Amino acid sequence: MVDQAAMPVDMPRQSPAETALPLRTQQAVLRGLTHDLRAPLRTIDGFAILLQRYLIQHQGMDATSSDHLQRIRDAANGAASLLDALQELTSAGRAPLRHEQVDLSLMADWVAAELQDLAPAREASVHVMPGLSVRGDEYYLKRMLARLLENAWRFSPPNVRVQVEIEGERIGERVQLRIRDHGIGFDMRYADRLFEPYQRLHGAEEGAGAGLGLAIAQCIAQRHGGRIRAESTVGAGSVFHVELVDAAPADAGDG
């Protein structure tokens, strides 16, 4: 038997320019993917839950069927959050940004409240220093804080209170934020991989998600003239340093 996958294949003699789709087409394909794939996922989740209820109602449900149906639903919802993250990453990279005064402290408190709503049973305390602000795009800056705080929640041990402190200062037109958690931390040898899409330093059993959250946060920080870097001690927690720069004063009527 010859393993087909191991057979040598001639490389096509084409320049990258000939093989690449135009950027606009790539974006349209990506947009189609992230939107249109949600429809079949709705169908899968919707009819799995209806089947679940039907079987329960007609005494046809056993432990195995119940387990299988739950796995189908979890997979559909997992794929949906992956699509969401992918869409968020592409839109964070190309959407026109607004220039408005953004109360970062308020946004951080708001995001913390939303996370608590999603997991009401989880004990958490998030302390935010008041008065932090920057001129930029409120919608995307809130998304950036959401991804960073989500990360802090995700990598806090499950039976321990989530503890996050957010503080910072302004230096001229730059704002430095520090988001400190007391979670499981990560090995500093991999610090530069942290912000690349799909690079995960932890397994799913340690709380890892799609592996796009920090890439999204980094992309938003960069579009605001800054960047994010992280330092960590395994077992003691991490600090994310976020640098943002005030956008130019309101131009073309926005802000």
Which residues of this protein are in contact with another protein, per CB under 8 A? Answer: 35-36, 38-43, 45-47, 49-50, 76-77, 80, 84, 87, 91, 95, 139
Positive/negative CA dihedral, 224, 116, 183, 208: negative
What distance in Å separates the CA atoms of residue 137 and residue 169, rounded to the nearest whole number? 19
What distance in Å separates the CA atoms of residue 100 and residue 237, rounded to the nearest whole number? 33
What distance in Å separates the CA atoms of residue 191 and residue 201, rounded to the nearest whole number? 9
Smallest Cα–Cα separation from 130: which of 165, 162, 106, 95? 106
- CB of 54 vs another protein, minimal distance in Å: 11
What distance in Å separates the CA atoms of residue 195 and residue 211, rounded to the nearest whole number? 9
- CB of 76 vs another protein, minimal distance in Å: 6
Residue 42 or 161 with smaller CB distance to another protein: 42
Residue 78 or 225 with smaller CB distance to another protein: 78
- CB of 228 vs another protein, minimal distance in Å: 22
Smallest Cα–Cα separation from 241: which of 137, 102, 155, 148? 148
Residue 90 or 238 with smaller CB distance to another protein: 90
- CB of 232 vs another protein, minimal distance in Å: 32
- CB of 238 vs another protein, minimal distance in Å: 29
Residue 110 or 199 with smaller CB distance to another protein: 110
Residue 80 or 106 with smaller CB distance to another protein: 80
- CB of 61 vs another protein, minimal distance in Å: 17
Phi, psi of 225 (to 5 degrees): 75, 5
Residue 139 or 163 with smaller CB distance to another protein: 139
